[in-house]
Amino acid sequence: MREMLRLIVQLMILGLIFLAVVPLAAVLLFGQLGQAEGPDLQLPFRNRVKTPDTITVWLEDQSKAVTVDFEAYVCRVVASEMPSTFEEEALKAQSVAARTFAMAKIEKYKEKKPEAHPKAPVCSTTHCQVYKTEKALIAAHEEGWEENGWEKIKKACQTTEGQLLYYDGEMVMQPLFFSSSGGQTENSEDVFVSAVPYLVSVSSPYEENATHRDEKTKLSLKDFAKKLKSAYPEKDLGKISQPSIKILSRTAGGRVEKMQVGDGAGGILKGTEVRMALGLSSALFAIEFDGSNIVFTSSGSGHGVGMSQYGADGMAKEGYDYKEILTHYYSGTQVY
């Protein structure tokens, strides 16, 4: 009887050990396997976004909406927005930015349809990001581009397929980009309405090959005044003469923040307003007078917020990969 009780106790102890050890071993074993095979479970953000199979695009030149393969759309945007002669890492960076931009538009479309193209979340113009059909792209390039440049772009896009930009656990909703910065990008609040934490002014030092450097635009003071008054008829600019024209302040990125352009009550304009009225490539400009003329010297092309495309190409030439390029221009972001 005593032997039987001892046996029962030993069996119970062995059972308890089994129940304790086996689950622990399973956790250790499958936890490690899960970490190796399912990295998504370990990602440091809450809401990873899955890209769709297709996207609807409003073709402005044809006034119709078409539905296309989503990744094909991304490739065509990259080919429309960035030269195929750019470094492959720059093309990859552009593909992630373009893909994220499209996804942000899709998310916003669920809440509100854009007035400019209510039948589609994105359009084919710079109102969103430029999109051309494959046929149009091939027609716009020299012979041989289809076998070389187009294949290079498709390879870059395929390498980053499905990858998006994230900030603080959420998909980036404003992955803005532009052509060239002139050496420094802008804080979003200095150009647009509000501050965005990942759209802050950063250096963009590798733009030696960028277009729109030290461009000269000469206007007579008469034409200068006419253009500004035509662009902003609601503003009281008063008399516009040489003594009433001066740059008052600059942004963190060096662009003109405010400029006096007349002696009237409304004679203080934003640098971006002057840029748009005169058709300058950038608000990064200086002014000088030449007799009865005013001369603008500008550098950079575009609004200056987010990723500089020529800067991305310059970084790629210096050996940076596409994730390093993206996290430089979109501060604090990650690529997944």
20-29, 67-76, 208-217, 304-313: which range is least confident on average?
A: 20-29
Angle between helices 221-231 and 271-278 (to 10 degrees): 110
Report how far residue 122's alpha carbon sits from residue 161's, in angstroms, rounded to the nearest whole number. Answer: 19
DSSP state of 184: B
Report the pLDDT value the prediction gives residue 150, as an integer from 0 to 100.
Answer: 98
Task: State the pLDDT at residue 80.
Answer: 98
Amino acid letter for position 151: E
Tokens in use for 171? Answer: 């998909």
Q: Is residue 252 over pLDDT 70?
A: yes
Region 238-252 average pLDDT: 96
Contact between residue 255 and residue 224 where contact means Cβ atoms under 8 Å apart? no
Q: How many residues belong to the chain?
A: 336
- The answer to whether the CB of 96 falls within 8 A of the CB of 336 is no
pLDDT tier at 61, thresholds 50, 70, 90: very high
User: DSSP characters for 204-237?
Assistant: ----TT-S--SEEEEEEHHHHHHHHHHH-TTS--
Phi, psi of 43 (to 5 degrees): -65, 140
Buried b (16+ CB within 10 A) or exposed e, 246-259: eeeebbebbbbbbb
pLDDT digits (tens, 9 = 90+) for 214-223: 999 999 999 9
As a whole number, mean pLDDT of residues 91-112 equals 97
d(CA 303, CA 248): 19
**What pLDDT does 193 receive?**
87
302-321: average pLDDT = 98
More confident residue, 48 or 126: 126
CA distance 8 to 15: 10
**Residues with Cβ within 8 Å of residue 137, at least 6 apart in sequence:** 76, 79, 80, 150
Q: Which pLDDT belongs to residue 35?
A: 32
CA neighbor of 256 nearest in space, from 286, 214, 227, 216: 286
Average pLDDT value over all residues in the chain? 90
Strand 307-308 vs strand 293-298: parallel, antiparallel, or unpaired? unpaired
- pLDDT band at residue 3, thresholds of 50, 70 and 90? low
How does residue 136 score in pLDDT terms, banded at 50, 70 and 90?
Answer: very high
Q: Over 90: is that where the pLDDT of 40 sits?
A: no
Percent of the chain beyond pLDDT 70? 86
Mean pLDDT, residues 174-189 taken together: 97
What predicted TM-score, i.e. pTM, was given to this entire model?
Answer: 0.84
Task: Please give the average per-residue pLDDT across 187-206, as a whole number.
Answer: 96
DSSP character at residue 102: H
pLDDT the model gives residue 38:
34
DSSP-derived letter for residue 154 is H
- What pLDDT is stored for residue 321 in this prediction? 98
DSSP string, 27-66: HHHHHHHHHHH-GGGG-S-S-PPPPPSEEEEEETTTTEEE
The fraction of the chain above a pLDDT of 90, given in percent, is 85
Give the pLDDT of residue 47.
Answer: 78
At 115, give phi and psi (nearest 5°). Answer: -65, -35
Per-residue confidence at 198, pLDDT binned at 50, 70, 90? very high
Q: What is the pLDDT of residue 305?
A: 98
Q: What 3-state DSSP class applies to 182?
A: coil
At residue 239, the pLDDT reads 96
DSSP output for 276-328 = HHHT-S-S-EEEEEETTEEEEEE--BS---SEEHHHHHHHHHTT--HHHHHHH
pLDDT value for 119: 97
How confident is residue 192, by pLDDT bands cut at 50, 70 and 90? very high
Given a contact cutoff of 8 angstroms between Cβ atoms, the answer to whether 68 and 55 are in contact is yes
Structural contact between residues 186 and 309, judged by C-beta atoms closer than 8 angstroms: no
- Tell me the residue type at 98: A
Q: What is the pLDDT of residues 73-84, one digit of tens each?
A: 999 999 999 999
What letter does residue 126 receive in the DSSP assignment? T
Separation CA 115–CA 245 (nearest Å): 37
